[in-house]
Amino acid sequence: MTELRKDPITGRWVIVCVDGDGRLPDLEPVDTDGDREDCPFCEGREDHTSPEIFSYRNRGTYPNTPGWFVRCIPNIRPVLSSNTELGRRGLGLFDLMNSIGAHEVIIETPHHGQDFHNSSLEQVEKILSAYQARIVDLKKDERLKYVLVFKNRGRRAGSRDISHAHSQVIATPVVPIQVKLELAGTRRYFKMKERCIFCDVIRQEERDGTRLVDQNETFLCLAPFASRFPYECWILPREHQARYSQLGEGELKDLALIFKRTFARLHRVLRDPPFNCMLHDAPNTVPQKGAWKTIDKDYHWHFEIIPRIMRTAGFEWGSGFHINPVAPERAVEDLRAVSLEGEAVTT
C-alpha cells in the first residue's frame, strides 16, 4: 500500500510505500581501495594538490606539508571561479551570467579509508568546523549569494575520481532553486503563523517520536515525513537557528556526536552505502533586504543525508515526484536498532 505525503516546507508530494516488504535494493559497498596507492589526498602527498587555502594542523607544521587534520584546497577543475567580473546580461528572452563563484575541496582526513562513521569525534568536529570557516570566509564576498557545502561518497552518489573522504564547497551568485523553494515555504508559513515551520516540525516530531532517529541536547536526527529516498535523514538544531555560522563551539561538539552516530547507523544498516550529504543554510543576506527581511526568524539550517541505494528514473526527474519504497517510520526502526556500543559515540 502506498500513501501520498506532502513535505510541509516545499510542498513536494512523495509516494511512500507504507507496507513494503522492506527488501532493500541492491546494496553495493563503497570501494575505497582501488585508488589507495596513488591518492593525492593522503598525508605526505600535499605536493600533488593545489596549495591549501587553509588547514587545521599540528602546531609547528607548515602549510602544504604533513601534520594536518583537515585541509581545504581549490578544486582543480572548478565549475565556478572568481576570476571574472559579475555580469548579468540578456540574450533576447534569456538571462545569463558570468560564472563567478568558488569551488573548493575539503579533504576530511589525512587517512585514506576513514569517513564520518569511523573517524574520531574530534576529527568529525574539525570537519564540521571547517565547513563553518569556509562559509564565513566566502560570504564576505557580497557577490556570492549562496554557499553550498556537500559531500558525495561513492561512484553511485556521483563521486568521480577520488575515494578519499572529501567534501566540496561551491559558492554561487544566485540562490539554488531547491533552497528557493524552501525559503518560499518557510516565508509563507512565517507570514501565517509568525513561527518557523522547521521549529514546529521539530516540536511535533519530538512529541510523536516515530520518525526520530536520534537526539542530544542540541540536535535531532529525523527521517522526514515525506522522505524522498529510503533512509533519508535530516540533522537539525533543536532550537531555532537560521545560519550554520551561528553555531557555537559546544554546539559543534554535539553536532559531531550526532553526525558520527547517524553515519555509524547508516553504515551498519545499509552496509557502507554511497550517499550525498548537503548543508542547507540561509543565503548570504549581507546587506539584508527585501524578501529576505525575516529570514533570521523563518529559516532553519539543517543537513540532508540521502543514501543512494536506488536509481532515480524519468518519473522523478520529469515530475519532481519521488517514489520511496521504504517508509521513514520503518527506516527509523532499523536505524535505531543498531547498537552503538563500543563505537565510542555514546554520551
Q: Give the footprint of its own copies on this chain (CB under 8 A).
A: 1-6, 8, 10-13, 15, 17, 79-80, 91-99, 148, 150-152, 155-159, 168, 170, 172-174, 176-181, 197, 200-201, 204, 208, 225-226, 276-278, 280, 304, 306, 311-321, 323
Q: Which is nearer to its own copies, 233 or 278 (CB)?
A: 278
Three cell numbers written together for 151: 559531500
Find the shortest distance in angstroms from Cβ 323 to its own copies: 5
CB of 149 to its own copies, least distance (A): 9
- Least spacing, CB of residue 271 vs its own copies, in Å: 20
Q: Residue 4 or 291: which CB sits closer to its own copies?
A: 4
Q: How far is the CB of 18 from its own copies (least distance, A)?
A: 9
Query: Nearest approach, Cβ of 66 to its own copies (angstroms)?
Result: 29
Nearer to its own copies, 32 or 55 (CB): 32
> What amino acid is encoded at 255 in this protein?
L
Each residue of 304-314: b (16+ CB within 10 Å) or e? bbbbbbbeeee
Calpha distance 121→229 (Å, rounded): 27
Residue number, 119 or 167, with CB nearest to its own copies: 167
Three-state secondary-structure class, residue 155: helix
Least distance from C-beta 60 to its own copies, angstroms?
36
- State how beta strands 13-17 and 322-324 pair: parallel
Give CA–CA dist 206/212, Å, rounded: 7
* Spatial contact of 111 and 83, defined as CB atoms under 8 Å apart: no
Neighbouring C-beta atoms of residue 85, cutoff 10 Å? 8
Strand partners, 14: 5, 322
Contact 271, 140 (CB under 8 A): no
Q: How far is CA 18 from the centre of its chain?
A: 26
Residue 43 or residue 141: which is nearer to its own copies going by CB?
Answer: 141
For 19, the grid coordinates are: 507496507
Q: Which is nearer to its own copies, 179 or 345 (CB)?
A: 179
